[in-house]
Amino acid sequence: MVIAKLIKNDIDFIVVQYYSYLTYGKFVQNESWEIIVPQSQRKLLKGESFGNSELAGVKMKSRELRVHEIAEFKELRPTHFTTVVKDSTGAVYERVGKNFKTNILKINQHAILQTN
């Protein structure tokens, strides 16, 4: 139960749902789901397998959700998440009461200050 674990540990993260189309006519699509967590919170991800990524120049940890994790997210979405963006290419969800963009800037600024 990775979503519940991240919420319980108060880790700031977003869930991204996106579609990829195999034709210009958009007849065939693949739906993917991904969790994105700030690199600075990697120590809180013990026991979870996340890869390195970058979002708008900020280092992140991310991984695709498994089928049972997508179901878990969909169950928790009404009470724990708000939709930030939703269009024909996908959607971005963040935790209720959290602002991922603002928090990511604060978290990374704090991490930079600690390393200096």
What's the pTM value of the predicted model, to 2 decimals? 0.77
The pLDDT value recorded for residue 15 is 92
Range of the domain at 56: 2-115
pLDDT tens for residues 84-95?
A: 888 888 898 999
Q: Is the model more confident about 17 or about 22?
A: 17
Range from 47-51, 53-57, 111-115 that averages highest in pLDDT? 47-51
The tally of domains found in the chain comes to 1
The pLDDT assigned to 19 comes to 83
Q: Write out pLDDT tens, residues 98-108.
A: 877 666 666 55
Strand partners, 81: 95
Residue with more model confidence, 102 or 74? 74
Tokens of 22: 């195999």
Residue 116: pLDDT over 50: no
Pairing of strands 14-21, 90-95: antiparallel
Task: Report d(CA 93, CA 95) in Å as an integer.
Answer: 7
Whether the Cβ atoms of residue 94 and residue 14 lie closer than 8 Å to each other: yes
Which ranges in the chain belong to alpha helices (H)? 2-8, 67-80, 100-115
Q: What is the mean pLDDT of the chain?
A: 78
